[in-house]
Amino acid sequence: DQQVKQNSPSLSVQEGRISILNCDYTNSMFDYFLWYKKYPAEGPTFLISISSIKDKNEDGRFTVFLNKSAKHLSLHIVPSQPGDSAVYFCAAKEVNFGNEKLTFGTGTRLTIIP
Amino acid sequence: DVKVTQSSRYLVKRTGEKVFLECVQDMDHENMFWYRQDPGLGLRLIYFSYDVKMKEKGDIPEGYSVSREKKERFSLILESASTNQTSMYLCASRGGGSTGELFFGEGSRLTVL
């Protein structure tokens, strides 16, 4: 049962344009969402997060949008740069006290075309 | 900067061998995690630990065990390796009370022949 889904395994975007990565979830107990970026042969690194009490969080070129009613979040990268080519994972955390685990999606491989 | 160090980047083992994957973090984090990453399946949680000598099963604990004798060290053990355990293994840590950001190691690529 995949509670966090990234339905696009891959995405190609021209350098300078906007990259939009999508993520859907099914568990209404998730209250915190994160995006991670992973280069080959490296561990994932934290990119940006959003609490369920917000609908938008921005950090430089990266913006995450959350639509709770649709159980959908998206990551926007503007403008896209070649160094953004990586696999992006969305992740979600439940509100339950003491539950420390993150549930990850399957990942989207983003390729930025120069 | 938080540093999570995994002892081996690449391992090749034979079916039936016992395998130890070691992970050490230097930020005095309470919580430590073992994930595996497989194509098309994302990151799946194997085990996690929120304190010394404490452990909790994740989503796919079968065939694995863990050990946390010291706060900074979290070991993943494959008692009898099988070919379906060929994967990238990722260790992560997080401080208590954090909202969720995990710090990952570089990963250990295990091949079981």
pLDDT reported for residue A100? 66
C-alpha count within 13 angstroms, C-beta hemisphere, residue B15: 4
Residue B76 near residue B34 (C-beta atoms within 8 A): yes
Residue B91 near residue B3 (C-beta atoms within 8 A): no
pLDDT over threshold 80, residue A16: yes
Q: What's the token pair of residue B72?
A: 């900074």
pLDDT reported for residue A94? 82
* pLDDT, tens digit, 9 for 90 and up, residues B4-50: 999 889 999 999 999 999 999 998 988 999 999 998 888 999 999 98
- Alpha helices, DSSP H only, in chain A? none
Task: Give the confidence band of A7 by pLDDT, cuts at 50, 70, 90.
Answer: very high
Burial of B79 (0-12, 13-18, 19+ CB in 10 A): exposed
pLDDT over threshold 70, residue A97: no
pLDDT reported for residue A99? 58
* Inter-chain CB pairs, A–B, below 8 Å: 63
Q: E-strand spans in B30-97?
A: 31-38, 42-49, 56-57, 65-70, 73-78, 87-94
Q: In this complex, do A104 and B99 lie within 8 Å of one another by their Cβ atoms?
A: no
Q: What's the token pair of residue B63?
A: 């065939």
pLDDT over threshold 90, residue A39: yes
Tell me the residue length of chain B.
113
Is the peptide bond between A79 and the residue preceding it cis, with omega within 30 degrees of 0? yes
Residues of A in contact with B92 (CB under 8 A): 43
Alpha-carbon distance B25 to B8, whole Å?
14
Which residue of chain A is at minimal alpha-carbon distance from B108?
A41
Hey, is the C-beta of A44 within 8 angstroms of any chain B C-beta?
yes
Alpha-carbon distance B2 to B31, whole Å?
13
pLDDT reported for residue A2? 79
Residues of B in contact with A107 (CB under 8 A): 42-43
Task: Give the confidence band of B100 by pLDDT, cuts at 50, 70, 90.
Answer: low
Q: What's the token pair of residue B16?
A: 């039936």
* pLDDT, tens digit, 9 for 90 and up, residues B39-98: 888 899 999 998 898 999 998 999 999 999 999 999 999 999 999 999 999 999 987 666
Alpha-carbon distance A109 to A64, whole Å?
17
Alpha-carbon distance A54 to A75, whole Å?
14
- Alpha helices, DSSP H only, in B6-110? none
Task: Give the confidence band of A47 by pLDDT, cuts at 50, 70, 90.
Answer: very high
pLDDT over threshold 60, residue A8: yes
User: How far is C-alpha A63 from the geometric centre of its chain's CA atoms?
Assistant: 10
Smallest Cα distance from B18 to chain A, Å: 24
User: How far is C-alpha A51 from the geometric centre of its chain's CA atoms?
Assistant: 13
pLDDT reported for residue B1? 67
* pLDDT, tens digit, 9 for 90 and up, residues A74-93: 999 999 999 999 999 999 98
